[in-house]
Structure 1
């Protein structure tokens, strides 16, 4: 493949600017208070941009467009769910969580229920969710790099890991706040500008090479096309389709699945219909309409539950609300995040629709996550296409860097304060470990649909921390026994689904839909177990529950909010020296 110098230059600039901004702001970070919560002085507008920046991950920048290309109308629930989850977060969690004065999610659990055992279990789930969410970010970086230059995928994963580790080690939350705010606006630019330009190209040139979306038949190849399959896929066709593989020509027929191994080169003649991976929509008529299949409908409902409720359980999202000055600022931040995300998600959907017409070969390879990167050069060959591809590639790397930074900060903070002694040195050691483990897994594990991988992370968050936060903030009869039982049952069911899915992949694809999207069962079960066990252990309700609930819900001007004092956060002389400092707004 040809190297795109514009893409390489753009990616290099994003990496350098990210490192520069992190290094510049890390000079003001001295104590663990800076590293964990940026001294709690981040204003709502900057915090909203930073939250949106870290939330727009590989699943958003690459995965949403890829799912729209493959699944059509059914994929629209992903951007809707990603955004609407912040409505529930704003209504039920944001302000009380900030008023709790906690530093981490496990810290909040102990502050509310007074149980070190619950704090330890929460720490384990925070680490697991963080690693599970980091994997698609690092794997997405590999996809992006292989699209713009002939390099192995592991190079992109390692590059992102090194940059975020250096920034987080240097300044923690203090260093990445400005970085993530900048990266949101850059990502918006990197998708909005190419989308507008490509829409102009579409209006001027009409339907793409694969035909218009209004045609009921599947997309077609208008010229002899060679497709290199990079991962093992199962392909299906809706009409008899001639194909040449290794000098042997056969005709694929509808109703049969054709396994194709990685490294295979398939040649399709002109005017033949485009095969698709087995779980994708073949015909445009089905692609344009929501599914009518009852099984797929239930799977969609389960996805909606995971996305709507999983947002309020994501540790790297919640930790940013601890950086606001007070509860009112936290709620205002959430409202602004809703606006920023709603604006951004217009563009991946439009790119996914255009990709259906201009890069149908991605339906054959199964690499639909590369649609954002491949579309510009397909629609605008030449210099314009290369420049647009360079901009989108740089935006993709910004997505990987910002989300991975937030994940590493949140998980490292939890490990440093709950498993180690809570000093700056411990935070940095935790950062090295949290960066290295997902990087190794990203290089060794196969790449799946990025958005589907993230969807399982949302299901786990919705089944563990969502019930604890909602009930812990709004129900005074919650006990730590109930919280522990609900978290273990809900999280255990999701992890069981992950294991059974992995077994199913190697033993005939027998797993039902509920194992792919388990939230519709696991979330209600987690709530029910938490409530029933709490009622059965009513004598274990914390004695200070009234004082804690007053602090969570009293308006900020009344002055009941108190930040938790944790003696081991930094050395005493560091706390005295930095107590009067302020974070740059």
Structure 2
């Protein structure tokens, strides 16, 4: 059934996004603006932009759905999403900014002086980005279908067009402005209805949420406790280590003026994410009191967050709250998809299109023109899959993106920042092994080929074994190939760990 109020809220979010993108276009004047917003984004604005980018469909809709379906076990999920930034703050935030790179492939090449490793990292950036974009596009289609009755491809198309226009027009300048505003839109859209619905539930004398005992107690699912423990800890490891390896997150730290600002940004992000994640579990909790479990779980077009306001308040009040939640959900899709598209476009532009155009035009290719072409190409594959296949689980797809990032970029970044003995061959071997194992696990899960039992648990949550394996391979191969250590490793390490003003005076 169509709800004009919700459709209007989504339309308002889309128009606001385009207007902010147009403003960002006026501010973008050069290559640095397109890739890293001129490296002049203040910590709090960057933290808001990271919050807008990071809080995707998996956070806005998926966490509430997981709590609704699986109970208190899933409270680990928002904890893990947030703790990932604490790990990033401690290990790589400031050195990553001091590297002077534009993208993760840039960092790999500058640290290890290997164009082959750079191309492999660029391929990973595109793969992780596509895996992240797919559920955003399908989620947008499901959200618009829920409030308007339109086919799911309409929402995916609207999202893709708006994101491509913003990214292609203003690059990181436009994306930063859009995402910093959309964090506050999402926070308001999920928090205000949560407070209202909690108040209504408390005053109405409605019964407590109805669920079996396993919903209320941790690690009491039908699976053996040891397997549940493994899945929980492996997922937490993916979230903690995968955050630093997500290309669209890492690129945001290149927009800070210096390493100190990068650290301050990360602290602010922890506060903003902690505030947001207070609210999705509220929807999962209340959903157990007001929503019919079999009906909701069997319909992929319904979500707890979108269905709950109308179930508690059937009249105009409920429709207004649903409109607010729907607008916030679409903002989540837009902001995350913008950041991911930005990272994918950067990799395609720098490692495919620009080298090709430079050879064809003898170095006269326009950086802005090649970037815009890359942005259009970067969204084609996930959009095609999104409109032609059945919906994938939002949290499952994003979880595998975290797992791949944890087993590939996390070892590269941590060892690249902290271990002088890292070699190009060691890094390449670790990235290859981590990508192969987690990529195969993701493919098996998405295609439904994972078996039951312990083998299925290892495939569904591969981080606990794939990431240590990648670290071990990286270290062992590096020790076995000392000749491939970059020649300027000492100078690079000094740059990563020396404050900018001190390093500038020294050189």
Structure 2 length-normalised TM:
0.94
Q: Any residues of structure 2 matched to 1:166-315 within 5 Å, and which?
A: 166-207=165-206, 211-213=207-209, 219=210, 283-292=211-220, 293-315=225-247
Residue number in structure 1 paired with 2:363: none
> Which one of the candidate residues 327, 330, 345 is aligned to 1:412?
345
Give the conservation status (yes or no) of the 8 Å contact 1:87–1:338: yes
In the TM superposition, residue 345 of structure 1 has moved relative to its aligned partner by: 0.3
> Which one of the candidate residues 455, 460, 465 is aligned to 2:399?
455
Quote the Cα distance in structure 2 between the aligned partners of 1:337 and 1:494: 28
Residue number in structure 2 paired with 1:549: 493
Quote the Cα distance in structure 2 between the aligned partners of 1:474 and 1:13: 46
From the two aligned structures, give the one with the greater helix fraction: 2
Query: After the TM superposition, which segments of 4 or more aligned residues of structure 1 sit over 2 Å from their partners?
Result: 360-364, 366-369, 498-511, 559-563
Quote the Cα distance in structure 2 between the aligned partners of 1:125 and 1:523: 15
Give the conservation status (yes or no) of the 8 Å contact 2:76–2:236: yes
Aligned-residue RMSD, C-alpha:
1.8
Give the conservation status (yes or no) of the 8 Å contact 2:392–2:446: no
- Comparing 503-512 with 360-369, greater Cα deviation is found at 503-512
Give the conservation status (yes or no) of the 8 Å contact 1:129–1:460: yes
Aligned: 1:517 with 2:464: no
Give the conservation status (yes or no) of the 8 Å contact 1:11–1:393: yes
Quote the Cα distance in structure 2 between the aligned partners of 1:180 and 1:309: 23
Pair member with larger Rg: 1
Residue number in structure 2 paired with 1:159: 158
Structure 1 length-normalised TM:
0.82
Quote the Cα distance in structure 2 between the aligned partners of 1:545 and 1:159: 46
In the TM superposition, residue 553 of structure 1 has moved relative to its aligned partner by: 0.4
In the TM superposition, residue 146 of structure 1 has moved relative to its aligned partner by: 1.2
Residue number in structure 1 paired with 2:503: 559
Deviations 1:470-520 (A, max 9, x none): 000000000010000000001100111123334544999996111111111
> Which one of the candidate residues 285, 309, 324 is aligned to 1:376?
309
In the TM superposition, residue 348 of structure 1 has moved relative to its aligned partner by: 0.3
Q: Any residues of structure 2 matched to 1:41-440 within 5 Å, and which?
A: 41-207=40-206, 211-213=207-209, 219=210, 283-292=211-220, 293-361=225-293, 362-365=295-298, 367=300, 370-421=303-354, 423-440=367-384
Q: Structure 1: give runs of 5+ residues left out of the alignment.
A: 214-218, 220-282, 564-585
Give the conservation status (yes or no) of the 8 Å contact 2:145–2:301: no
Residue number in structure 1 paired with 2:39: 40
Give the conservation status (yes or no) of the 8 Å contact 1:100–1:562: no
Give the conservation status (yes or no) of the 8 Å contact 2:35–2:102: yes
Q: Structure 2: give runs of 5+ residues left out of the alignment.
A: 356-366
Residues 146 and 33 (structure 1 numbering): CA distance in 2 closer, same or farther, change over 3 Å? same
Give the conservation status (yes or no) of the 8 Å contact 2:142–2:301: no
Quote the Cα distance in structure 2 between the aligned partners of 1:561 and 1:445: 56
In the TM superposition, residue 369 of structure 1 has moved relative to its aligned partner by: 6.3
Residues 171 and 212 (structure 1 numbering): CA distance in 2 closer, same or farther, change over 3 Å? same
From the two aligned structures, give the one with the greater strand fraction: 1
